[in-house]
Amino acid sequence: MPRGLLIWTMLLLVAPSASAVDFRIETKVYSGNEELPITQNTTLVQSGVVYDFLESPKRVAIFRRSRGNQPGTFLLIDPMRSVKTEITADRIDTAIEKLRTWSRTQRDPLLVFAADPVFIEAFDMETGALSLKSEPMTYRLSTVAVERTEVWPALRDYFDEYAKLNCLLSSSTMPPIPRLQVNNSLEKHNVVPEEVTLTIAGNDATRLRAEHVFTWRLSKDDRARISLVGEQLVSFRSVSNAEFQKESVATK
């Protein structure tokens, strides 16, 4: 399976509080034994709003949680084209469910598994080692405990929707359901990952590794970066989701 279709499975964005704590996360994803990352992003959270900066292609995703009857919303920015678009979580859910239904009918065992994955889970409380094993794919995580369990509803809301969004933006043919199960295990054990290794079985076995570095405050430069995004949201031209994705692909 092409490398780009699996990257979304590695982007685990975590923190001890999504509402009261401002923080940053630097994520790098590596393929096999390569020394240079194949993708990297920086995530900033300020006052409960999440700003994710993808390095290549240059793209910013801003996530605002659902409020009342209003669904969660992603605002996407392409700074190279000076355009923006908006997509709601309920639209993303509809697209993912269609992908999942299609995946169940395919001949590829990996696609069928990804629609309704079943893992054997193991967790070591002393070391924080967490694994989700199956014949098609296996996750191995190094984790640390979260001190404030009350933050999990907010965290899961973002974790899950971001996994779905990345699946759509990468034009992946594999549903993100395995990643959602990883999120569920993290919450169940009240831990967050520092390193994640994903192994895909098969004749052309794939191994991806993600590293996450946390800083529990925002720097002056981080806040300036967020301020710039606010200006871009005001000045950039709004386009449809299809036009935004077409332009983003063209700039890769």
For residue 247, the model assigns a pLDDT of 60
Is residue 138 a contact partner of residue 199, using CB atoms and an 8 Å limit? yes
Q: How far apart are CA 181 and CA 128, in angstroms?
A: 17
Average pLDDT over residues 10-16: 45
Q: How far apart are CA 34 and CA 226, in angstroms?
A: 32
Q: How far apart are CA 93 and CA 161, in angstroms?
A: 8
Q: How far apart are CA 68 and CA 72, in angstroms?
A: 10
Average pLDDT over residues 113-136: 96
For residue range 214-249, what is the model confidence (pLDDT) as tens digits?
777 899 999 999 999 999 999 999 999 889 887 655
- pTM, two decimals, is 0.83
Domain edges within the chain: 3-250
155 pLDDT exceeds 60?
A: yes
Confidence band, pLDDT 50/70/90 cuts, at residue 147 = confident
Average pLDDT over residues 191-214: 85
For residue 206, the model assigns a pLDDT of 83
Confidence band, pLDDT 50/70/90 cuts, at residue 20 = low
Question: Residue 76 pairs with which residues in a beta bridge?
Answer: 61, 85
For residue 110, the model assigns a pLDDT of 93
- SS3 (DSSP) at 145: strand
**How is residue 172 written in tokens?**
């992946």
